[in-house]
Amino acid sequence: MSDSTDEVRAYTVRLELVDEPGELLRALHPIADNGGNLLSIFHERGNLTPRGHIPVEVDLEATPERFEEIVDALRDAGINVIQAGTQHYSESLTIVVSGHIVDTDLSDTLSRIQQSTDATVTDLSLSAPEGTDDVSSARLRLATEEGETDSTLATLRDIADRKGLRLIEPLTAGDAA
């Protein structure tokens, strides 16, 4: 097993962006230009930081050397980097949520997941065959830290319960098929 600096790792960068057209794209250029591979972007347009900016969390993969270059390039571009660091996401979890997802504010649900767990949403698929005013479903893929799946599921159950949503859980290790 190699501990080489060429080894690609997952990182999370928390940014503060001005609410103007093109700012998110401007923040993504230094990542792409320095060899970062995007995993997910959590753009909290409905929330503001104390300075009145938009919080954005970017999960990416890069070698340690490239990650340092990415952070430097972001700062050189005038992007406010609030936090930059390694996240060790080693488990994947896929759930389905159904109910009035849009009416109960999908953005709020995602924000609660992000704020209440050590997981990050890596993929989201929404289905609303009868329109957004009716029952819909969403498939969420989450990356969790090793050993945090049970805790993450407990938090997801609580969020779904508070919003009157149904949570369809995956089989986990030890469950019978």
Domains of the chain: 9-86 (3.30.70.260), 89-168 (3.30.70.2690)
Residue 87: predicted pLDDT: 52
Residue 145: predicted pLDDT: 73
Residue 1: predicted pLDDT: 41
Phi/psi class of residue 44: alpha, beta or left (left: φ > 0; alpha: ψ in -120 to 50)? beta
What is the pTM (predicted TM-score) of this model? 0.52
Q: Is the pLDDT of residue 90 over 70?
A: no
Cβ partners under 8 Å of residue 139, min gap 6: 94, 95, 96, 123, 124, 125
Span 131-141, pLDDT tens digits? 878 899 998 88
Q: Is the pLDDT of residue 18 over 60?
A: yes
Q: Is the pLDDT of residue 174 over 60?
A: no
What's the CA gap between 163 and 103, in Å, rounded? 10
Span 102-133, pLDDT tens digits? 888 888 888 888 788 877 777 788 898 888 78
Q: Which amino acid is at 47?
A: N
